[in-house]
A and B are shown apart, each in its own frame.
Chain A
Amino acid sequence: MVVGDAFSGGTAQIWAAAAAALLGVFAVWHYVSLRSRVSVPRSLVLTLLRSTAIALVLVLIAGPRFAQRTFNPVRRPLAVAIDTSRSMGLRGGLERSRLDRVRDFLEAGEFRRVAAGFVAGYFSVSESLSPLSRDGIAALKPDGGRTDLAGALRRADGTGEPAALVLFTDGGHGAAVRAEDLAALPGAPLVIVAVGAGERTIDAEVASVEPPAIAFAGQSVQIRVLLRASGLAGRSMPLLLKRGEQVLVSQTIALPPDGQDLLAVLEWTPPAPGSYPLAVQLPVQDGEQIVDNNRAELPIEAVRDKIRVLLVTGQPSWSYRFLRGALKGDPSLDVVSFIILRTASDAVDVPQQDLSLIPFPTQKIFLEELPNFDLLVFDNFASQPYLPSGYLEKINEYVRRGGGFWMLGGPLSYLGGRYQQSPIAAVLPVTLPEATPAGGAFRDLPVQPRLTPAGRTHPFFQGMADRDGEPPPLRGYNVSGPARPGAVVLAEVPLGNGQTQPLIVLGRYGDGRVLSVLTDSLWDWAFAEAGRGRGNRAYLAFVRQAVRWSIGDPQLQPLKVEPERVRLAPGDPIRARIRVLGEDFLPSARTELSVTLRDPGGESRALVPTLEAPGVYRIEALAAGEGSWEIAAAASIKGAIYARSAATVSASWPPEEFRTPGLNRAALTALLAGRRGAYLELGATGATAEALEKALDELTSSGPNERVDTRPLAEMIPVFLALLAVLATEWIIRRRTGLD
């Protein structure tokens, strides 16, 4: 229905007045000039026609527009979005949940009256925006996962360009809404109807857990836990540190008043190196609606304390000097070293009091304290006459039970130390002939060693990347038999005729790891290499990697489980890549890989890994529920497991959802920053509907259902026709009058 038309010319009224004045002057002049040639009536008529034509031309040139204001009886779209995230299921001490209260309001007559002026479209919103039928509102459930209002609105499709968007939410999105998300929101005005005001929340919350920066096996760690509570001030309860269902630590705390934090510190000692999927938990209290935030996952990786190395050296040498420097330079090592500075055949001309030498406590070391070391190194050391056979049996047992052992070469090692007749021989990864071969037990001559294929890829030699696989030359080697079956030869000395002498060999003895180095001149890899401009990188890398291999450091295991993501939401896929090599650090077709997945309840099931590339497998499984999921892998050859690895992923709902269990006013008002909108809180039905109606009236500024259309006047054909008619009439009169 058209209720009004109006011309709206230009704003320059002065120009219009001036044009009118000039037109009047023109008309007078025109009349006077005609009056002497034609009659008065004709002069008046012609002047009127000419003035009219000029006026019409001026009007067209000025470009007035035609505005048509219409009050349209057709109602405009109104988008009504309802937050269905999990926090909307909270009651906050009231009888009805937040979502129920929204439903009640939408069903009320007061809201229906407000909505009657619009075509209301309904949507559920959590991580996405989904259209709803009016009847679908009754079936809504608070199960939408986390709230991502900005993301949902940005992804909204089919909402058209509504007059306004009305959003019912509790603001459970927390800090998840960012400025760039807000900028991408649709341009329609936003009316937020906040849900949750006036609730009385009962909640105990593990707000945050600060794990230790590093955890050492056998040393206590402090776990700092930040606690918050609503409606439970002063209530005492146990704060638990758990692994699965096993309670590791229980500490009684008193919850803080509303709005305050309580810092609790739990102390726990990892018993051994490894992964510990732990959780900090508060018991669920009566009336507590939010239980997810009573628990926080806390994976801890415990590593070894300082690695304790016992270094026994047969005589002062450059081998000792540079080895000691490399070991002492590693802050993760504790080194106790013994050097035989003087033997019984060495003569000094002073009393014992003038010597700095001290007794070697062999009994204390080898019979009592040996198990407390992680690695025993014999560096050019002949056990006779210092260590009787019983001591060597202890060393054999120490290695069999998991201790690391190195025998470094020199004239006092291997055959030179008569180890072929000792319990140590069985420990070594190289065989020792019963008799010393012709030429002696130690060959003191320059040799160029070479790396075996296993050595070229082994972590021990990562410092030799710039040598193209050729290690630096050495100045001698110990004679031995071939490597034992199962041992891994990393470097060897070519002897000609296809014969080789093992030089650096790895082996296992029981649970222990053994390194044999059949030379005493590895220090050339530090000092002589520096003279060649390469520094001591190759030597340091070898020593430090060898120490870690010897103690079974997970970083030097040929098996690694690498999860794609360690923090997931329930329902997300667990994906991991598993890298597995043989003991020689080369991909091995003989290796069998088994993988299991342990769920938060402690149940394990086997997974089938998919081969992706040689030595690389993938697994995928579903994190069906919240908690820690542990992926454990084992590599074996012929049933004998030689490496294990595990990794833990944590599945939980994003903590932001329930970080603030009450109404999150700050987050909601932040949504309105820089855009047209209004903030209301859902209260009494009538008052809320009235406030909503008022907000919609204000935000739709041109009035309800009003529309104004404008178009250029020049587009109107009648105006042109009128101009033509005026000019034609004037022309006809002039012709009849005999004027030009």
Chain B
Amino acid sequence: MKTSASRRDFLCKLAVATAGVSFFSLWPAPAFGFSNLRSEPKDAVKRFVFAQLRYLGGDWDPHPSAPAQFIREVERMTSVEAEPERRAVTITDSQLFSYPFLYVTGHRDFTPLSEPEVERLRTWIEAGGTLVADDAAGTPGYGFDAAFRRELARVVPAARLERLPAEHTVFKAFFLVRTVVGARVVSPFLEGLTIQGRTAVIYSPNDLLGAFARDPLGRWVDPCAPGGDRQRRLSFHLGVNLVMYALCGDYKQDRIHTPFLRQRI
């Protein structure tokens, strides 16, 4: 490949040392109503699976209807192809390593993991899995919060949950998220556990999944307080970003995004 001045200019702009770019095509503009954007029906092959961890003790599934609603929103807003139903898996499930995204939530304390479970979950995280934990009770220091922190310390003893800074990729993976919320607002930030530059565990204290639950008649199960519908919409945005971060990694940290994001943030 020959080198040219224009290449240098271009690469300087892209800062290609670690560059990577997400894309929203402006050509042809969606507003123009092109209908042939996909060569296959959208439900042809579903590759993203919302897997939810089923554990002993406590309540592993406090919002049974929320995952499906959330998955629909992810599919509606992004190009992600997702299975419409969540998959509930245990740590010892033979299919665990088919799902690099795992959501764990609950209100109460749960049974400590066995040593083989600790070992297997550690392998899953180190191999590239992304674990999203969500305290449905929103009670720091008690119930699910205490139990999850206790078990995580056993799984990854060398690292600990730390507050994710505002410039973390998860806040700009798709939407520009400026406010951390859920069905409630217990804490205005997420915590995360980072291993070799990748945030493998993300912890929400605000009952994020609770903001997505609907009853069979389509009504929201839980109110979002204190922000109401706007808070619920922001919760969806944060949820979408969590999925995008799991699927795309830290691509938004690639320097090509810097000038664009600087204008918008």
Residues of A within 8 A of B (CB): 218, 308, 311, 314-322, 324-325, 328, 334-350, 353-360, 362, 364, 368-369, 371-374, 382, 384-386, 402-403, 410-412, 416-418, 440-442, 444, 476, 520, 524, 526-528, 530-532, 535-536
Give the Cβ gap from B146 to chain A, nearest Cβ, in Å: 29
* A345 vs B25: C-alpha distance when bound (angstroms): 12
Please, which residues of chain A bring their CB within 8 A of the CB of B264?
A: 353-354, 356
Whole-angstrom CA separation of A416 from B22 in the bound complex = 22
Minimum C-beta distance from B249 to chain A (A)? 6
Q: Is the CB of A338 within 8 A of B22?
A: yes
* Docked-complex contact A341 and B22, CB < 8 angstroms: yes
With A315-B79, A369-B6 known, 6 other A-B pairs at CB within 8 A are: A334-B16, A337-B19, A356-B260, A526-B127, A527-B97, A527-B129
Cβ of B248 within 8 Å of any chain A Cβ, yes or no, is yes
Q: Per-position contact with A for B14-34: 1 when CB-CB < 8 Å, else 0?
A: 101111111111111111111
Decide if B252 is an interface residue (CB 8 Å cutoff): yes
Q: How far is the CB of B32 from chain A (nearest CB, A)?
A: 8
Contact A530 B37 (CB under 8 A): no
Q: B134 to nearest A CB, angstroms?
A: 21
**In the complex, which of the residues B2, B7, B80, B237 contacts A316, with contact meaning CB atoms closer than 8 Å?**
B80
Q: Is the Cβ of A356 less than 8 Å from the Cβ of B174?
A: yes
User: Closest A-chain residue to B75, C-beta based?
Assistant: A346
B114 close to A (CB within 8 Å): no
A325 CA / B35 CA spacing, docked (Å): 33
* A346-B16 in contact given A371-B1, A372-B7 (Cβ < 8 Å): no
Q: Is the CB of A342 within 8 A of B79?
A: yes
The verdict on A382 contacting B128 (CB below 8 Å), with A343-B79, A346-B79, A354-B176 known, is no
29 A-B pairs within 8 Å (CB atoms) are namely A316-B78, A316-B80, A317-B81, A322-B128, A324-B249, A335-B16, A335-B18, A335-B20, A336-B16, A338-B21, A340-B23, A344-B33, A345-B30, A345-B35, A348-B77, A355-B176, A356-B172, A356-B257, A358-B21, A362-B25, A364-B10, A371-B1, A372-B10, A402-B1, A411-B40, A411-B45, A411-B81, A526-B128, A532-B97
- B85-114 vs A: 1/0 string, CB under 8 Å? 000000000001110100000000000000
Say whether B55 faces chain A, with CB atoms less than 8 Å apart. Answer: no
When chains A and B are docked, how far (Å) is the Cα of A731 from the Cα of B81? 135
Q: Which residues of A contact B39 (CB under 8 A)?
A: 382, 384, 412, 416-418
A357 to chain B: which residues have CB within 8 Å? Answer: 22-24, 174
Residues on the B chain within 8 Å of A353, using CB: 176, 264
CB of B68 within 8 Å of the partner chain:
no
The smallest C-beta distance from A112 to any residue of chain B, in angstroms, reads 75
- Distance in Å: Cβ of A279 to nearest Cβ of chain B: 27
Q: Given A372-B3, A520-B47 in contact, is the A336-B20 Cβ separation under 8 Å?
A: yes
Residues of B in contact (CB 8 Å), total 76
B38 within 8 A of A: yes
Whether B3 contacts A337 by the Cβ 8 Å rule is: no
B189 at interface by CB-CB < 8 Å:
no
- Please tell me if the beta carbons of A325 and B128 are within 8 angstroms of each other in the complex: yes
> How close is A160's CB to chain B, nearest CB, in angstroms?
72
Tell whether B183 is near chain A: CB-to-CB under 8 Å.
Answer: no
Q: Which of A311, A314, A342, A524 has the most CB of B within 10 A?
A: A342
Q: 1/0 per position for B120-150, CB-CB distance to A under 8 A?
A: 0001101111000000000000000000000
Q: Cβ of B174 and Cβ of A355 under 8 Å apart? A: yes
Residues 135-189 of B contacting A (Cβ, < 8 Å): 172-176
Assembly CA distance A476 to B45 (angstroms): 10
For A385, what are the chain B residues with a Cβ–Cβ distance below 8 Å? 28, 34, 36-37
* Inter-subunit contact B40/A358 (CB<8 Å): no
Q: Which of B6, B16, B252 has the most C-beta atoms of chain A within 10 angstroms of its own C-beta?
A: B16
